Amino acid sequence: MIAALPPGSDTGSALVALPVILPLFAAGLKLGIGVRLQRTQRVISTVVLATVLAVALVLLVDADTHGPQVMYAGGWQPPVGIVLVADRLSALMLVISSAVTLCVLLYSVGQGMADQEEGTPMSVFHPSYLVLVAGVSDTFLAGDLFNLYVGFEIMLTASYVLLTLGGTVTRIRAGATYAIVSLLSSVLFLAAVAVVYAATGTVTMAELAGRFDELPDGVAVLAQISLLTVFCTKAAVFPLAAWLPDSYPTAPAPVTAVFAGLLTKVGIYAMLRTQTLLFPGDRLSDVLMVLALFSLLVGILGAVAQTDLKRLLSFTLVSHIGFMVFGIALATRAGFAGAVFYVVHHITVQTTLFLVVGLVERRGVTTDLRRLGGIAKLSPALGLVFFVPAMNLAGVPPLPGFLGKFGLMRAGVVQGGAMVYVLIAAGAATSLLTLYALAKAWNLGFWRAAPPQLYVVGVVLDTVETDEEDSPSEQEAGGDQGGAAPGGSGAVDVDVLEGRAGTASFGGRAITTGQPPAAMLVPTAALVAFGLLFTVLAGPLSSLTARVAGELTARTPYVTAVTGR
Amino acid sequence: MNETVALVATGGALIAAGTVLLLSRPLTRIVLGTVVIGNGVNLLLLSTSGAAARAPLLYRVFGPRRIADPLPQAFVLTAIVITLALTAFLSAMAYRAWQLSGTDDVQDDVEDLRVAYRAEHGEDREEHREGGARRLPMERERRARRRELLGAAEEDGQAGEGGTLRHPRRSDTHFHEARRRARAETRAHHALGARTEDETAGDDMWETILGADR
């Protein structure tokens, strides 16, 4: 029952809970169904995520025209109860995330059908994926810090399962790093919540707005630093980013894509929310600037040094997080608007690129740039869907990547200051180096003549453990799974050492096909088009992000909508 | 007041103990470490409810002023449930790691290994660099060395079935040891070869960008 709604938001409020409840409900349903009724399962997933997208769009329109939409769970009021709030920022993030998750779901359904993986990996993937979506929605909508923590946990728990899908050697190794790092940051988050509650007596973010101004500076800084450390770990900001390039590339392609697109951005969202609502002003801006600087440069230099396409993209992900942190560190309206625009763009483009890499791996067995080649000739469509988002990520005008970077840099110039100019220069250098890294990837992987083994089509390679003395091509193709792994600690697979991080299918098998299956190519192309839409709609979108930033810096609409004051 | 201090002190001690566990190599110990740290943080969270008081459930009996703050207790309950789920998952993962590799130690970082190999085989790299002509004899040498290692093991243990190396008897530890060593050498060799090829190809930036279709 929903009680005591603030005036002006009648039915809109009940909608706020749907993006969390629907995927959870569907996940439960799917677990109940099990491995049976594959077709029904696919329909359920697709319908649920499409509904979530529709709900998110309605919420965005409502939040934009009528102010933040609020739902009080069980009718309990803020200091005690759980509040879900959809203001412009939340609703916008929700729209982008549900559009992206829907496309990735369609891609994974296509992949499952193409690989005929109807059994265990797929039947685990679907419910976990829906739980992940519910967790992401919950973090975007959470109106209090503890619910934010719970949202993170829902998301992370699902992500542990997704990352270790199939339980192969590489995935378990990567999963251990990922799970331990995430777990520690979660524990720190809980401690930060304890600090905030001890200092203020509430965890509702609307109530917290302004509370820290009355407290001694030291207490506020402690709370702020603890929360920032947590969110920097989740968002993979430089000194806390080492886990990302090691863990993401091993997962199945759709999983890597959705992780790269959404999970780090959830951290950025939490930073945006707390930095504007709880700790307005530029208290730790200098620190954030330095972190952004190092993220930008260290990340992109890492990307330049990589020879594996997935690792390369993972490093560009770390690097470009720096742009968003830069926007947050500016702590001005224009800075926040630029950061939000960049988040929207980056979620889409990074997901697209990882989906494309999944397709490349199916065509060329590997994502190692030294062994790939000629993809653009073998499959022109694949070349196109890689080239456009790659240029978009590098920021070639007039693509949205350019607009996002331009908006951030303009916001920086308006503010001025030595550090800001250093960051603008670093941003420009990062764009150019991104272009360099992606041009290298394009030339080596797509443009040069294909090595002979790539012309072999339609081979499904099994996971049998191949011996080293077999023919070289077979050796390359051997999966690194295998129940008969040699004993002894420190045993590392040949494949991993040579730059092949893993294999993209759900079960961890290496699977090659000729042309990419239409069921996988179409969702990818749809995401490419979605990314380009931000250029066509750049005007409305940037005025929306400006309104988002206005609402964030004003604080009162959010606080009034939740507390009624 | 005293109760709160005791909670904080215990929490701190648990976190310290958990950190020690966390710094060790086996995944099982790390799991235990996270559990202990999680409990420590839960105690800290519980300490935020202030002075000790009556159970919140009995607020009708004692009145709202004499009961403890129920909110941190709700937080802690939620956190305990989450920790339980994660402990189950991590334990399963540790078991799977043990199944796959015979140990649940956290593996060395792959990039670190690469760097270590490069340092170890600095001289060989120079040889590799000198060109493809010299690589072939090295490859032949490696294969010979491998056959030698495995052959010796086979004669000792009669492990090879019909001359193939594919299905050695699982129980033959001697053969396994030889194969493991041979594999380690092969890995080092492959890694080295891949690295040097990579480096010689990528020396010139414009070469990599423009000369891709050479």
The reply to whether residue A497 touches residue B114, judged by beta carbons under 8 angstroms, is yes
Tell me, rounded to whole angstroms, the distance of Cα A307 from its chain centroid.
23
> Measured between CB atoms, does B187 come within 8 Å of chain A?
yes
CA pair distance B13, B40, nearest whole angstrom: 8
Count of domains observed in chain A: 1
pLDDT at A474 over 70: no
- Searching chain B, which residue's CA lies closest to the CA of residue A437? B209
Q: What type of residue sits at position B103?
A: T
Which pLDDT score, from 0 to 100, does residue A486 have? 34
Q: Which of A231, A310, A222 is nearest to A273 (CA)?
A: A231
Alpha-helix runs per DSSP H in A365-471? 375-378, 380-394, 400-415, 418-441
The reply to whether residue B89 touches residue A488, judged by beta carbons under 8 angstroms, is no
| Of residues B48, B187, B210, nearest to A198 (C-beta) | B48
C-alpha distance from A32 to closest chain B C-alpha (Å): 19
Give the pLDDT band of residue A21 (cuts 50, 70, 90): very high
Least confidently predicted of A225-234, A260-269, A299-308: A299-308
The reply to whether residue B208 touches residue A443, judged by beta carbons under 8 angstroms, is yes
Q: Residue A62 sits in which domain range?
A: 12-451+512-560
Which pLDDT score, from 0 to 100, does residue B32 have? 92
CB A386 within 8 A of CB A360: yes
pLDDT at A58 over 60: yes
Which pLDDT score, from 0 to 100, does residue B169 have? 52
pLDDT at A498 over 50: no
Q: Is B162 helix (H, G, I), strand (E, B) or coil?
A: coil
Which pLDDT score, from 0 to 100, does residue A252 have? 86
pLDDT at A495 over 50: no
Q: Which of A309, A382, A308, A320 is nearest to A349 (CA)?
A: A320
The reply to whether residue B194 touches residue A498, judged by beta carbons under 8 angstroms, is yes
Tell me, rounded to whole angstroms, the distance of Cα A1 from its chain centroid.
33
Q: Which of A265, A238, A260 is nearest to A249 (CA)?
A: A260
Give the pLDDT band of residue A267 (cuts 50, 70, 90): very high
Which pLDDT score, from 0 to 100, does residue A110 have? 86
Which pLDDT score, from 0 to 100, does residue A194 have? 93
In the DSSP assignment, the letter for residue A447 is I
Query: Stretch A452-476: mean pLDDT, rounded?
Result: 44
CA pair distance A179, A164, nearest whole angstrom: 10
Which pLDDT score, from 0 to 100, does residue A470 have? 36
Least confidently predicted of A325-334, A459-468, A527-536, B74-83: A459-468
Query: Which structure tokens are listed for A51?
Result: 């509904």
| Of residues B113, B180, B190, nearest to A488 (C-beta) | B180
Contacts of B93 in chain A (CB under 8 A): 160, 164, 172, 175-176, 179
| Of residues B97, B180, B197, nearest to A176 (C-beta) | B97
Q: Which of B17, B20, B9, B23 is nearest to B36 (CA)?
A: B17
pLDDT in tens, A67-119: 888 888 877 777 777 889 999 999 999 999 999 999 999 998 888 877 766 66
CB atoms within 10 A of CB A539: 8
Least confidently predicted of A36-45, A319-328, B66-75, B166-175: B166-175
Enter the ipTM.
0.82
> What is the distance between the terminal CA atoms of chain B, rounded to a whole angstrom?
77
Q: Which segments of chain B have a pLDDT < 50?
A: 157-168, 170, 199-205, 209-214
Question: Does residue A458 lie in a domain region?
Answer: no
What b-and-e string marks burial along A431-448, b requiring 16 or more CB atoms within 10 Å of the CB?
bebbbbbbbbbbbbbbbb
C-alpha distance from A494 to closest chain B C-alpha (Å): 5
Give the pLDDT band of residue A366 (cuts 50, 70, 90): confident
Q: What backbone phi and psi angles, to 5 degrees, belong to A157?
A: -60, -45
The number of C-alpha atoms within 13 Å of B171 and in the hemisphere containing its C-beta is: 2
The reply to whether residue A150 touches residue B82, judged by beta carbons under 8 angstroms, is yes
- Searching chain B, which residue's CA lies closest to the CA of residue A146? B75
Beta-carbon pairs below 8 A across chains A and B: 162
The reply to whether residue A169 touches residue B100, judged by beta carbons under 8 angstroms, is yes
> Domain limits of chain B?
2-101, 110-213
Query: Which structure tokens are listed for A91?
Result: 């609703």
**Under 8 Å CB-to-CB from B30, ≥6 apart: which residues?**
A180, B21, B22, B24, B90, B106
Which pLDDT score, from 0 to 100, does residue A79 have? 73
Q: Is A72 helix (H, G, I), strand (E, B) or coil?
A: strand
CA pair distance A381, A387, nearest whole angstrom: 10
CA pair distance A377, A441, nearest whole angstrom: 15
* Mutation site, A187, A306, A475, interface B, largest B CB count within 10 A: A187
CA pair distance A290, A505, nearest whole angstrom: 39
* Mutation site, B101, B114, B147, B203, interface A, largest A CB count within 10 A: B101
The reply to whether residue A157 touches residue B89, judged by beta carbons under 8 angstroms, is yes
Contacts of B27 in chain A (CB under 8 A): 176
Preceding amide of A523 cis, omega within 30: no
Q: What backbone phi and psi angles, to 5 degrees, belong to A345?
A: -65, -45
Alpha-helix runs per DSSP H in B67-161? 70-101, 110-120, 122-129, 132-157
In total, chain A counts a number of residues equal to: 565
CA pair distance A399, A431, nearest whole angstrom: 13
| Cα–Cα separations (whole angstroms), residue A459 to A115, A364, A510 | 11, 11, 10
> What is the distance between the terminal CA atoms of chain A, rounded to a whole angstrom?
23
Contacts of B165 in chain A (CB under 8 A): 467, 469
The overall average pLDDT reported for chain A is 83
- Searching chain A, which residue's CA lies closest to the CA of residue B12? A191
pLDDT at A485 over 70: no
CB A124 within 8 A of CB A161: yes
The reply to whether residue B209 touches residue A440, judged by beta carbons under 8 angstroms, is yes
| Of residues B44, B187, B197, nearest to A191 (C-beta) | B44
The reply to whether residue A187 touches residue B41, judged by beta carbons under 8 angstroms, is yes
| Of residues A168, A180, A497, nearest to B110 (C-beta) | A497
pLDDT in tens, B116-167: 776 666 656 555 555 555 556 666 777 777 777 777 666 554 444 444 444 4
* Mutation site, B19, B34, B96, B100, interface A, largest A CB count within 10 A: B100
In the DSSP assignment, the letter for residue A6 is P
Which pLDDT score, from 0 to 100, does residue A343 have? 95
pLDDT in tens, A150-175: 999 999 999 999 998 888 888 888 88
Which pLDDT score, from 0 to 100, does residue A455 have? 61
CB A311 within 8 A of CB A243: no
- Searching chain A, which residue's CA lies closest to the CA of residue B187? A494
